[in-house]
């Protein structure tokens, strides 16, 4: 079936002028992150100098290329933004390239002793070991007392709100920035999500993961629930092929979560055991496609990934960045139909996201005005959330 291409009649979000959300990420979050990475790991002098050079460049210089001898540099060679100011290029591209440059600076891909050392692992590990996670896991023991419909909703919402566990976001917002959740979702298409899964024979669900630890754990619990209730015969969990956006989940992070589950007690350990078995039986498949770290929207996805999503009964996109990539990171009026901007997607797709950037689509007329009147930073503070489905 030929699908329409994504509309392009609105400009992409560029980093832009001081005062914009995107600019604050580049001016505040990225320099703070370089500092945190340096403090967390004792890098040798050459790596320290590379981090200094990156900091100088992002705060003053034009965008430089990856060195020619950097493994994988070819994938970035033909991008059109080198030599331009960081402020003048698409936000999506600038952030993604920043993370790739940070990995180059710490020698993540280069042959030698630092190859494969995740600079964000100290933060991710600390979060996964936290007492908050113990509480979340022991809460699973209370699920048995719920009706099946309540259990569906609880597990879906727990995966959705898990998206607040975003270490990059906390770097600029601080704990104080994580205001109280606003429980009424700005869009709630969850009935449509369950209907898509109930229609026809159960098939594959692609779950495009976002953050590790406290977000990935409820995502895994949801995956187990879909398998255990026969909503899916297979869950394909899309992870990042390398460390990205601070807390985005890699294969190592997914294995750490499985370990955390199985070492817990009660229901959490049961879930962990089932999921470990599901991996060995190919019912839970871990994928780490290179496009998952690409600086482009999903309408530019390569054919093999398109085929994966096309053959799924449903693709669930977790989180804010996946949302931006799904809808195209453009200045859409908030009432632009979600189905219209995702019509290019090769199969049914759902977005589960807390709002942490300016881009949003699919709001009912009047909702924007209502939210503007009641919650000043509802678009970016992570206090509001949505479930959107296009089938």
Ligand X SMILES: O=P(O)(O)OC[C@@]1(O)O[C@H](CO)[C@@H](O)[C@@H]1O
Residues that bind ligand X (CB under 6 A): 25, 95, 163, 166, 168-169, 210-211, 245, 319-321, 324, 356-357
The phi and psi torsions of 220 (rounded to 5 degrees) equal: -70, -40
Cα gap 81→65, rounded to integer Å: 9
Identify the burial level of 178 via C-beta atoms within 10 angstroms of its C-beta, where 0-12 means exposed, 13-18 middle and 19 or more buried.
middle
Instruction: Output the smallest distance, CB 320 to ligand X, in A.
Output: 3
Instruction: Output the smallest distance, CB 352 to ligand X, in A.
Output: 10
The phi and psi torsions of 375 (rounded to 5 degrees) equal: -140, 100
Q: Tell me which H or E stretch contains 158.
A: helix 148-161
Alpha helices by DSSP H, listed for 311-379, are 319-327, 338-341, 367-374
Instruction: Output the smallest distance, CB 40 to ligand X, in A.
Output: 19
- Rank residues 110 and 185 by Cβ distance to ligand X and give the closer one: 185
Instruction: Output the smallest distance, CB 193 to ligand X, in A.
Output: 18
Identify the burial level of 8 via C-beta atoms within 10 angstroms of its C-beta, where 0-12 means exposed, 13-18 middle and 19 or more buried.
exposed
- Rank residues 43 and 99 by Cβ distance to ligand X and give the closer one: 99
Give 364's contacts (C-beta < 8 A, 6+ positions apart). 187, 335
Instruction: Output the smallest distance, CB 322 to ligand X, in A.
Output: 6
- Rank residues 267 and 292 by Cβ distance to ligand X and give the closer one: 292
- Rank residues 166 and 224 by Cβ distance to ligand X and give the closer one: 166
- Rank residues 216 and 357 by Cβ distance to ligand X and give the closer one: 357
Cα gap 40→129, rounded to integer Å: 16
Instruction: Output the smallest distance, CB 246 to ligand X, in A.
Output: 8
In degrees, to the nearest 5, what angle opens at C-alpha 166 toward C-alphas 38 and 366? 140
CB-based contact 260:250 (threshold 8 Å): no
- Rank residues 288 and 391 by Cβ distance to ligand X and give the closer one: 288
Instruction: Output the smallest distance, CB 114 to ligand X, in A.
Output: 25
Of 142, 69, 56, the residue nearest 107 (C-alpha): 69
CB-based contact 350:316 (threshold 8 Å): yes
- Rank residues 232 and 355 by Cβ distance to ligand X and give the closer one: 355
CB-based contact 219:257 (threshold 8 Å): no
- Rank residues 28 and 372 by Cβ distance to ligand X and give the closer one: 28
266: left (phi over 0), alpha (psi -120 to 50) or beta: left
- Rank residues 245 and 345 by Cβ distance to ligand X and give the closer one: 245
Of 359, 363, 358, 356, the residue nearest 181 (C-alpha): 356
Instruction: Output the smallest distance, CB 95 to ligand X, in A.
Output: 5
Instruction: Output the smallest distance, CB 70 to ligand X, in A.
Output: 23
């Amino acid at each position: 079936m030929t699908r329409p291409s994504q509309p392009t009649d609105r400009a992409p979000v560029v980093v832009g002028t001081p005062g914009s959300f995107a600019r604050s990420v580049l001016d505040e979050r990225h320099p703070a992150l370089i500092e945190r990475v340096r403090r967390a790991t004792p890098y040798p002098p050459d790596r320290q100098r590379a981090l200094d050079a990156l900091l100088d460049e992002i705060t003053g210089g034009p965008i430089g290329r990856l060195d020619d001898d950097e493994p994988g540099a070819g994938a970035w060679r033909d991008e059109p933004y080198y030599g331009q100011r960081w402020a003048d290029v698409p936000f999506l591209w600038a952030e993604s390239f920043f993370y790739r440059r940070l990995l180059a600076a710490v020698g993540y891909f280069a042959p030698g002793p630092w190859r494969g050392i995740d600079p964000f692992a100290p933060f991710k590990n600390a979060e996964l070991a936290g007492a908050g996670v113990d509480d979340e896991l022991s809460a699973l023991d209370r699920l048995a007392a719920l009706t099946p419909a309540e259990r569906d909703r609880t597990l879906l919402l727990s995966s959705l709100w898990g998206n607040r566990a975003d270490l990059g976001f906390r770097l600029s917002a601080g704990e104080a920035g994580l205001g109280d959740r606003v429980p009424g979702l700005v869009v709630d298409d969850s009935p449509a999500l369950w209907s898509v899964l109930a229609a026809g024979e159960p098939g594959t669900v692609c779950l495009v993961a976002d953050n590790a630890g406290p977000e990935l754990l409820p995502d895994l619990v949801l995956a187990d629930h879909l398998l255990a209730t026969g909503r899916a015969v297979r869950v394909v969990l899309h992870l990042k092929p390398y460390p990205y956006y601070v807390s985005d989940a890699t294969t190592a992070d997914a294995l750490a979560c499985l370990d955390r589950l199985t070492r817990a007690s009660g229901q959490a350990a049961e879930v962990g055991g089932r999921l470990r078995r599901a991996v060995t039986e190919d019912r839970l498949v871990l994928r780490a496609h290179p496009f998952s770290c690409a600086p482009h929207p999903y309408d530019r996805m390569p054919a093999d990934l398109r085929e994966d999503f096309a053959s799924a009964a449903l693709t669930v996109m977790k989180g804010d960045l996946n949302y931006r990539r799904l809808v195209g990171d453009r200045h859409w009026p908030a009432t632009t139909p979600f189905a219209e901007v995702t019509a290019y997607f090769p199969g049914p797709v759902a977005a589960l996201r807390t709002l942490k950037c300016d881009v949003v689509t699919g709001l009912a007329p009047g909702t924007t005005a209502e939210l503007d009147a009641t919650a000043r930073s509802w678009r970016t503070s992570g206090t509001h959330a949505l479930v959107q489905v296009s089938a």
